Amino acid sequence: MRRLLIAGNWKMHKTIPEALDLVRELKELVKDVNDRDILVCPPFTALYPVSRELEGSNIVLGGQNMYFEEQGAFTGEISPLMLKDAGCSYVILGHSERRHIFGETDELVNKKVLSAINHGLIPILCVGELLEERESGKTQEVVEKQVREGLKGVDGDNEFVIAYEPVWAIGTGKTATPELAEEVHLFIRQVLSDMFGSEKANSVRILYGGSVKPENAAGLLNMENIDGALVGGASLKAESFAKIVKFDMEA
């Protein structure tokens, strides 16, 4: 049985005081949750103070991106060693905004995935198609290429997470129907089975990302192959994120 993972990607939001206020409120709201993993990914500036605030809680910390080198002349970048030092255990890699705004390629994302694993971080590899790719019937082709290229050189014993995020559903208010999302998640699991074998494929958590809100979380997260959510805007308020975390635990 795969353990659910509910991850909040804060993107470029929250000053340090705002970040601390958010996690203090969130800690209280989800303190009784013990049957799923809860992850928050603040901006880099807030990582260390948030890490200190989360000590002893049931919430873990992740970074939103990283470079694959440990150190060097890479102005503006952050290394896996820095993320570990700040208290991170996960890192989001290959997010559609990194791919489509900042031009990250599958090759670069793969280097980051391998570096994360080598430094004891669990990568969350994001994959997903553009609207025009979906409309032209290329969803599986695009997603399979991103999965295979992103995980090239990864060992079956390594831990990693996949996040399927249809680009047309991110920040748009549009959401893939649970059935449509399940179809792609099942396809990703089949690709993983071909790459690593069925046992590994059945153990990998595949998250859904794309305008996940309290109102649609249960429908998505009750699908067989959807093992959690990568939440954007709804993770910026403790109450809405807590409702997603506790989607089937509400009275």
Which CATH number do you get for residue 193?
3.20.20.70
Quick one: average pLDDT of 69-92? Answer: 98
- Has residue 250 got a pLDDT over 60? no
Q: pTM for this structure? A: 0.96
Amino acid at the residue 76: G
Three state DSSP letters for 29-44:
HHCCCCCCEEEEECCH
**Counted domains in the chain:** 1
The pLDDT value given to residue 160 = 98
More confident position, 131 or 217? 217
pLDDT at 251 over 50: no
Of residues 1 and 82, more confidently modeled: 82
Mean pLDDT of 95-121: 97
Select from 191, 223, 220, 222 the least CA-distant residue to 204.
191
Indicate whether 250 belongs to any domain: no
Please state, in angstroms and rounded to a whole number, the distance separating the CA atoms of residues 179 and 185: 10
Check residue 89 and report its DSSP letter: S
Give the pLDDT band of residue 71 (cuts 50, 70, 90). very high
- In a domain? residue 251: no
Contacts of 250 (CB under 8 A, 6+ apart): 243
Spell out the alpha helix ranges (H) of 130-249: 131-135, 139-150, 178-196, 198-201, 214-221, 238-245
Which residue segment(s) compose the domain that 162 sits in?
5-245
Q: Report residue 192 CA to chain centroid gap.
A: 17
Is residue 60 a part of any domain in this protein? yes
Fill in the DSSP letter of residue 83. H
Q: Clarify whether 250 is annotated catalytic.
A: no
Annotated catalytic residue, options 53, 95, 104, 185? 95
78-105 in b/e form (b: 16+ CB < 10 A) is bbbebbbebbbbbbbbbbbbbbeeeebe
Question: Hey, is 195 helix, strand or coil?
Answer: helix
Portion of the chain with pLDDT greater than 90, in percent: 91
Where residue 195 falls among pLDDT bands split at 50, 70, 90?
very high
Q: Which of 104, 165, 182, 185 is flagged as catalytic?
A: 165
Residue 95 annotated among the catalytic residues of the structure: yes
- Is the residue at 21 inside a domain? yes
Distance CA 219, CA 4 (A): 14
